[in-house]
């Protein structure tokens, strides 16, 4: 007896004419009067099941009461569909299972959420019915992708002689830049801390002679929630002895290329580009820059220090910066109202305002254009921002960290809004120093 399961989405030519058993959920039911078609679904896909009284006999009464999301076990003979009924859009579209035995394993009420990918469902509704949400193809694809990623990482590191060591969750507090989650013990006043990273343990392993360690490990950090911060997260934790920075970068870079090959089927042969932290912050505003599109931050501080616009000049005199980004060719996409509304994008990052100018054939146009009416000032701004007619320029004047965070976020926001890059494209970059 084979312990390997045959999934609905895996039936094929080799099973035609055989008696097989499929188990899964009812995706769709079509009753043609004495003949019922079921799309039976599991994690691998669908298979059409044919139910009729000639083959099922008395079990046809059960077939009549089947509804969406009922869980079935169906045994029958796999056969080819009629030519006119074949569906080239799904891998199993040439086949159907002629049911000879039917068991209803579980019934179902009408689901409170739609289980297709296209439906827009509120997050709170999804979370209340998470087990249903996880039946959706998009969610199942996410979990499968995660599995493929971790499997590829383990294979790669195992082949390089790394040893996977599971380290404790209950430990003493170590400084990692965030607050610890504390776990009370039965002894009054004594606590464990959940690890922000396995720092102590991997250093112990290095001292013990395990020169190549890794772990795909859960970490816990009590931080304010943001889009890229969660209280618990998984990281690929590596530690090595006797290697330098270049060696470790080579290991990690090749590991990521293996992951891309395993999950996307792409061979990445070019070396990852590299930039310093200082360069990333100066030109992209963040230490994880999206390099799939241009629109870097331009520093106008030297010019602004002596300009007629007091907001800019005073900011520089007080130790701040004035920087801008140039949204090429999109000036006509913005009215005064929609351009001003973008201040809401930068406010959460501490920016007190967002200035903007449109570049026209006649010069600069916008709320602050009057302060740069002199031809020399206009030309200076155009030179510093590479401005051309049809462009719209956005400025933030504030403390350096505020300018970086605000324009860094606005840059990505505008690029997504105007589809300036392929969201499926991959662009890795090393940030050093």
Question: So where are the chain's domains?
Answer: 8-106, 141-264, 280-432
Written as one string, the DSSP assignment of 338-392 is: HHHHTHHHHGGGT-S--EEEEEETTEEESTTGGGG-SHHHHHHHHHHHT--TT-E
pTM here?
A: 0.84
Q: Give me the CATH code for the 8-106 domain, please.
A: 2.40.50.140
Q: How far is CA 111 from CA 116, 260, 380, in A?
A: 12, 36, 62
Q: Give me the CATH code for the 280-432 domain, please.
A: 3.30.1360.30
Residue 120 — pLDDT band, cuts 50, 70, 90? Answer: confident
CA atoms within 13 A on the CB side of 284: 19
66-112 pLDDT tens trace: 999 999 999 999 999 998 889 888 999 999 999 999 999 999 999 99
Residue 173 — pLDDT band, cuts 50, 70, 90? Answer: confident
Classify 141-264 by CATH class.
alpha beta
Short-list 172, 171, 173, 154, CA closest to 163: 154
In DSSP terms, 51 is beta-bridged to 36
How far, in Å, CA of 366 to CA of 369, rounded?
A: 5
Query: Averaged over 222-246, what is the pLDDT?
Result: 89
Find where tokens 């030309």 sit. Answer: 379
């Amino acid at each position: 007896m084979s312990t390997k399961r045959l999934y609905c989405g895996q039936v094929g030519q080799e099973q035609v004419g055989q008696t097989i058993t499929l188990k899964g959920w009812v995706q769709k039911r079509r009753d043609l009067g004495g003949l019922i078609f079921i799309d039976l679904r599991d994690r691998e896909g669908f298979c059409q099941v044919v139910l009729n009284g000639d083959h099922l006999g008395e079990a046809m009464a059960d077939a009549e009461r089947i509804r969406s999301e009922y869980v079935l076990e169906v045994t029958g003979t796999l056969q080819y569909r009629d030519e006119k009924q074949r569906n080239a859009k799904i891998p199993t579209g040439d086949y159907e299972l002629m049911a000879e035995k039917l068991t209803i394993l579980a019934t179902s009420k009408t689901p409170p959420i739609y289980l297709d990918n296209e439906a827009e469902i509120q997050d709170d509704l999804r979370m209340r019915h998470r087990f249903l949400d996880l039946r959706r193809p998009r969610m199942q694809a996410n979990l499968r992708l995660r599995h493929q990623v971790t499997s590829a990482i383990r294979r790669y590191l195992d082949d390089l002689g790394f040893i996977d060591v599971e380290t404790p969750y209950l430990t003493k507090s170590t400084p990692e830049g965030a607050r610890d989650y504390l776990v009370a013990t039965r002894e009054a006043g004594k606590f464990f801390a959940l690890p922000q990273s396995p720092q102590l343990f991997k250093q112990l392993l290095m001292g013990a002679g395990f020169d190549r360690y890794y772990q795909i490990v859960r970490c816990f950090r009590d931080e304010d929630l943001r889009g890229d911060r969660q209280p618990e997260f998984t990281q690929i934790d590596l530690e090595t002895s006797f290697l330098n920075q270049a060696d470790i970068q080579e290991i990690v870079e090749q590991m990521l290329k293996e992951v891309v090959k395993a999950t996307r089927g792409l061979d990445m042969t070019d070396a990852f580009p590299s930039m310093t932290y200082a360069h990333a912050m100066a030109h992209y505003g963040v230490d994880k820059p999206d390099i799939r599109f241009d629109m870097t931050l331009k520093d106008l501080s030297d010019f602004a220090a002596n300009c007629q616009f007091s907001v800019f000049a005073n900011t520089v005199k007080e130790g701040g910066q004035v920087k801008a980004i140039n949204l090429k060719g999109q000036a006509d996409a913005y009215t005064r109202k929609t351009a001003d509304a973008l201040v809401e994008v930068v406010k959460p990052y501490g920016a007190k305002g967002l200035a903007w100018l449109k570049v026209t054939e006649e010069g600069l146009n916008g709320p602050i254009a009057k302060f740069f009416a002199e031809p020399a000032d206009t030309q200076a701004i155009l030179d510093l921002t590479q401005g051309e007619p049809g462009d719209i320029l956005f400025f933030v004047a504030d403390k350096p960290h505020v300018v970086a965070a605000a324009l860094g976020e606005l840059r990505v926001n505008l690029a997504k809004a105007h589809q300036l890059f392929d969201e499926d494209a991959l662009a890795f970059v090393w940030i050093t120093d």
